[in-house]
A and B are shown apart, each in its own frame.
Chain A
């Protein structure tokens, strides 16, 4: 575990840089994460993905499968990678403040 500095506030993240406590999530954190994950500008489309992920996580307690994410937001996987260069799991889920998605290597 380590901390990142977001506008003077210390936010706890895990070794892959995901939020330890999803409830501390706020816009400043999204902007800080965006810089770390090579997202140059947060557009309306970014927020559409972020809000979708947050809503899904609130409802089901896990991240959605990628097929579902693409279907429900209307973005192709390629578009998601264009928006979040480190991908839906490492990029989009991190910005949305979800804890690290589990899965197989």
Chain B
């Protein structure tokens, strides 16, 4: 038996699937920093301690974001990862690239960095893992020459991200890719020169299936929807049922607002349009029979985030429906008003959702110039907003 220097990491190479350890080892065959990364990680597994220091302020000229400083806490032992900074490269909306573009990116990264990448990081960016302070500027310059730009980091607008939308999907109610492209262009300054109390994320999904997970992962989620009613093709419904499709269990029973009913005598799917919340389940189950409405736009959800100051929040409705068509003047104006309010009122490390909890939804709406609407109630059917008086509590137990 040969003595491996990384017995713990080697365990993660077993099995018939890809392994990040295998990938780091391949990079380590070419680069000393990747070898040190591997060895430091092995030590972390052994000691059960992560050996990266928190933060660091590094960057490229003219930009306040896009580079994450990473320093090893064990630089004496692993000198080649003493500085091992991360670059976030702004991805293309929908993640569409030619192999040539990716080769160009990787060639530059092999030249200036570890050669290791995350594609894509959970921010959506193309993440380049590990380079020195000295190499940051020349690496960025070469990337810029090839047409790439950095993404966001720190207290500013983060790289906007969205689903593949109309380019690959029949459900898209809005052109999420075009919107992401344009929002990225329009708010360049806010991405590259972070100026706000904390991060602000914009994500866009073409429909309520929310493939970009915008509701949970973004402060400002743009979710494609429609304001008229579902289009049901009764003949196609019958075809589904004839084919053995269990419409009661899979569609009617799963409708969250009980807006659907199947009349088996008439062989007809009855639909209560007023109660439909446009969740997409029936469409997902019977795509040939049920389609989205024709008057399409987006719902805007606010406040989604992971924990820091308060717990994790799921975004809730801010604008039930608005048109989202180029040149996007109305929605850009809304984003500007919200981020200005955020910049003016938020405390350091407070997200917009937390700010709204602190100041109250009413004050926030007033501050950004929106009129309260019933759809803004975060859990309308679960929370009837009845305030019980003390004596009533006693009376009703």
Instruction: Tell me if A90 is interfacial: C-beta within 8 Å of chain B.
Output: yes
Task: Choose one: B68, B154, B197; the contact of A65 (CB below 8 Å).
Answer: B197
Instruction: Tell me if A16 is interfacial: C-beta within 8 Å of chain B.
Output: yes
Task: Choose one: B62, B69, B71; the contact of A85 (CB below 8 Å).
Answer: B62
Query: Is the pair A105, B55 in contact by a Cβ cutoff of 8 Å?
Result: yes
In B345-373, which residues have CB < 8 Å from any A CB? 348-349
Please judge, given known A-B contacts A15-B56, A15-B71, A16-B69, whether A85 and B195 are in contact too, CB under 8 Å: no
Instruction: Tell me if B89 is interfacial: C-beta within 8 Å of chain A.
Output: no
Assembly CA distance A99 to B323 (angstroms): 47
User: Which residues of the other chain, B, contact A78 by a CB distance below 8 angstroms?
Assistant: 189, 193
Task: Choose one: B69, B189, B193, B349; the contact of A105 (CB below 8 Å).
Answer: B69
User: Which residues of the other chain, A, contact B210 by a CB distance below 8 angstroms?
Assistant: none
Instruction: Tell me if B179 is interfacial: C-beta within 8 Å of chain A.
Output: no
Task: Choose one: B61, B83, B155; the contact of A104 (CB below 8 Å).
Answer: B155
Q: Could you tell me the distance in whole angstroms from the C-beta of B165 to the nearest C-beta in chain A? A: 29
In B318-354, which residues have CB < 8 Å from any A CB? 343-344, 348-349
B184-198 interface bits toward A, Cβ cutoff 8 Å, 1 = contact, 0 = none: 000001000111111
Please judge, given known A-B contacts A81-B193, A105-B68, whether A87 and B55 are in contact too, CB under 8 Å: no
Chain A: interface secondary structure?
loop
Query: Is the pair A104, B198 in contact by a Cβ cutoff of 8 Å?
Result: yes
Query: Is the pair B56, A16 in contact by a Cβ cutoff of 8 Å?
Result: yes
Query: Is the pair B155, A103 in contact by a Cβ cutoff of 8 Å?
Result: yes
Query: Is the pair A77, B197 in contact by a Cβ cutoff of 8 Å?
Result: no
Instruction: Tell me if B12 is interfacial: C-beta within 8 Å of chain A.
Output: no
Please judge, given known A-B contacts A86-B59, A90-B58, whether A67 and B343 are in contact too, CB under 8 Å: yes
User: Which residues of the other chain, A, contact B195 by a CB distance below 8 angstroms?
Assistant: 66-67, 70, 77
Select the residue from B57, B61, B64, B343 with max chain A CB neighbours within 10 A: B57
Q: Could you tell me the distance in whole angstroms from the C-beta of A13 to the nearest C-beta in chain B? A: 12
User: Which residues of the other chain, B, contact A81 by a CB distance below 8 angstroms?
Assistant: 62, 64, 193
Task: Choose one: A15, A38, A87, A104; the contact of B193 (CB below 8 Å).
Answer: A87
Q: Could you tell me the distance in whole angstroms from the C-beta of B361 to the nearest C-beta in chain A? A: 23
| A side interface size, CB within 8 A | 23
Q: Which residue of B lies closest to A70 (CB)?
A: B195
Query: Is the pair B59, A103 in contact by a Cβ cutoff of 8 Å?
Result: no
Q: Which residue of A lies closest to B156 (CB)?
A: A66
In B274-294, which residues have CB < 8 Å from any A CB? none
Query: Is the pair B154, A104 in contact by a Cβ cutoff of 8 Å?
Result: yes
Please judge, given known A-B contacts A65-B348, A103-B154, whether A85 and B61 are in contact too, CB under 8 Å: yes
Assembly CA distance A32 to B59 (angstroms): 19
Q: Could you tell me the distance in whole angstroms from the C-beta of A70 to the nearest C-beta in chain B? A: 8
Instruction: Tell me if A101 is interfacial: C-beta within 8 Å of chain B.
Output: yes
Assembly CA distance A101 to B56 (angstroms): 9
Q: Could you tell me the distance in whole angstroms from the C-beta of A79 to the nearest C-beta in chain B? A: 11
Query: Is the pair A77, B154 in contact by a Cβ cutoff of 8 Å?
Result: no
Instruction: Tell me if B199 is interfacial: C-beta within 8 Å of chain A.
Output: yes
Query: Is the pair B83, A105 in contact by a Cβ cutoff of 8 Å?
Result: no
Instruction: Tell me if A10 is interfacial: C-beta within 8 Å of chain B.
Output: no
Assembly CA distance A44 to B24 (angstroms): 50
Select the residue from B58, B64, B197, B199 with max chain A CB neighbours within 10 A: B64
Binding site for A on B (CB under 8 A): 55-59, 61-64, 68-69, 71, 83, 153-155, 189, 193-199, 343-344, 348-349
Given contacts A65-B197, A103-B348, 13 further A-B pairs with CB under 8 A are A16-B57, A67-B196, A67-B343, A77-B193, A77-B195, A85-B62, A86-B61, A87-B59, A87-B193, A88-B64, A103-B155, A104-B55, A104-B155
Nearest 7 A/B pairs, CB to CB: A87-B64, A105-B68, A66-B195, A85-B61, A90-B57, A16-B57, A77-B195
